[in-house]
Amino acid sequence: MILEGAHRRSIARTADGAGVAILDQRLLPWEVKWVELRDAATAAAAIREMWTRGAPMIGATAAYGLAMALADDPSDAGLAAGYDLLVATRPTAINLRWALDSVRAHVADLAPAERAAAAFARADAIADEDAALCRAIGEHGLALLRTLHARNPHRPLNILTHCNAGWLATVDYGTATAPIYLAHDAGIPIHVWVDETRPRNQGALLTAFELANHGVPHTLVADNAGGLLMMEGQVDAVIVGTDRVTANGDVCNKIGTYLKALAAHDNGVPFYVALPYTTFDPATATGADIPIEERSADEVKWLTGPDAEGMIRTVRVTGSPAANPAFDVTPARLVTAYITERGVLDKV
């Protein structure tokens, strides 16, 4: 099912203002289902179990989750318990901690009776700011894509992306996809190679869904195809999102990103990382210091999707042991530039 319109806001306050509505991304693209989160425990489950995902998106969700915690218990103990519950959901994306720290700082000195409303207001501001940041990333990235396309103006610009760094991973526009959307809308012929992104298949299920919804030409490929495509000259640039960029510019992103960066470096293909300031972590020195989330081995061993009758089923591919690191680290030396809301920077 295609959503009406193209990119859109992926989180919104409920009508009564007491909760938030998010898309259950585990069901996409087969079913478009908005679910309401009305307490901190449900918000934590939504993040931990990846009903919703993407660094800025889990930051916004956690911010609202802390506001809901304070609506239930505005005491210092309630603030601490809500913070601890939500910050423990996923360790790698710095946006989660950044957003929780921001809300906590905003309310800590307030009287308990004032905390929930102030926390919701701060969460609203975080969400609105993210949409604006991603739009600005798109504007700066658009200028870059115009320059790249001018080198071969008689054919579409070919971009490869990994995982989903789209409007589903943020409040709107996306980070890696924002320049793609704006370039398409500006009439620049663009085509996207979409890495399927095993094992959670965010590319196959989410990025392909987003691009189809926006009418952007794209081709789904196996994660291992990117190196050949670059060697054959079929990729003009790689653009990815990120979950954390450290003080020295190392980039933590979905598992497999590092291998794309190596292939890009070996083939002289520019490798760009798109991020808002909320994903930059100057307090962490290098990528070696980032906690890499290890998710359930079942994500590698099981597959979920519609059967011939359209029923969503999960099947086990193997009974063998499996390992499932969810992220890797691309050294700064392999990054051509960072596409940010402040511009395209050769270092952060």
Ligand X SMILES: CSC[C@H]1O[C@H](OP(=O)(O)O)[C@H](O)[C@@H]1O
Please identify, using beta-carbon distances, which residue of 117 and 221 lies nearer to ligand X.
221
CB of 54 to ligand X, least distance (A): 4
Residues 172, 236, 243, 281: which is the catalytic one? 243
CB of 258 to ligand X, least distance (A): 12
Three-class SS state of 306: strand
Position 29, amino acid:
P
Residues 295-314 within binding reach of ligand X (CB under 6 A): none
Is residue 129 a contact point for ligand X (CB under 6 A)? no
Q: Are 286 and 248 in contact (CB under 8 A)?
A: yes
For the chain, give percent helix, strand, coil, nearest 5.
40, 20, 40
Residue 141 assigned to a binding site: no
Position 32, amino acid:
V
Residue 54 assigned to a binding site: yes
Residues 132-191 within binding reach of ligand X (CB under 6 A): 163, 165, 169-170, 175
Three-class SS state of 110: coil
Stretch that binds ligand X, among 98-106, 147-155, 179-187, 235-243 (CB under 6 A): 235-243
Please identify, using beta-carbon distances, which residue of 57 and 188 lies nearer to ligand X.
57
- Chain-centroid distance, C-alpha 158: 21
Among 155, 145, 83, CA closest to 337: 145
Please identify, using beta-carbon distances, which residue of 23 and 119 lies nearer to ligand X.
23
Residue 33 assigned to a binding site: no
Residue 301 assigned to a binding site: no
Specify which residues 37 forms β-bridges with: 20
Among 27, 47, 138, 151, CA closest to 90: 47
Q: Are 335 and 267 in contact (CB under 8 A)?
A: no
Q: Is 243 a catalytic residue?
A: yes
Residues 236-265 within binding reach of ligand X (CB under 6 A): 240-241, 243, 253-254
Q: Burial, 154: exposed, middle or buried (Cβ in 10 Å; 0-12, 13-18, 19+)?
A: exposed
CB of 197 to ligand X, least distance (A): 8
Query: How many residues interact with ligand X (rule CB under 6 A)?
Result: 16
Distance, in Å, from the CA atom of 230 to the CA atom of 264, rounded to the nearest integer, reads 7
Among 102, 158, 202, 340, binds ligand X (CB under 6 A): 202
Stretch that binds ligand X, among 50-58, 122-130, 150-158, 180-188 (CB under 6 A): 50-58
Close Cβ partners of 49 (under 8 Å, ≥ 6 residues apart): 26
Residue 254 assigned to a binding site: yes
Position 83, amino acid:
Y
What's the DSSP call for residue 224?
A: G
Among 54, 65, 78, 226, binds ligand X (CB under 6 A): 54
Residues 314-333 within binding reach of ligand X (CB under 6 A): 326
List residues binding ligand X (CB under 6 A).
53-56, 163, 165, 169-170, 175, 202, 240-241, 243, 253-254, 326
Catalytic residues, by residue number, are 243
Binding-site residue set: 53-55, 90, 202, 253-254
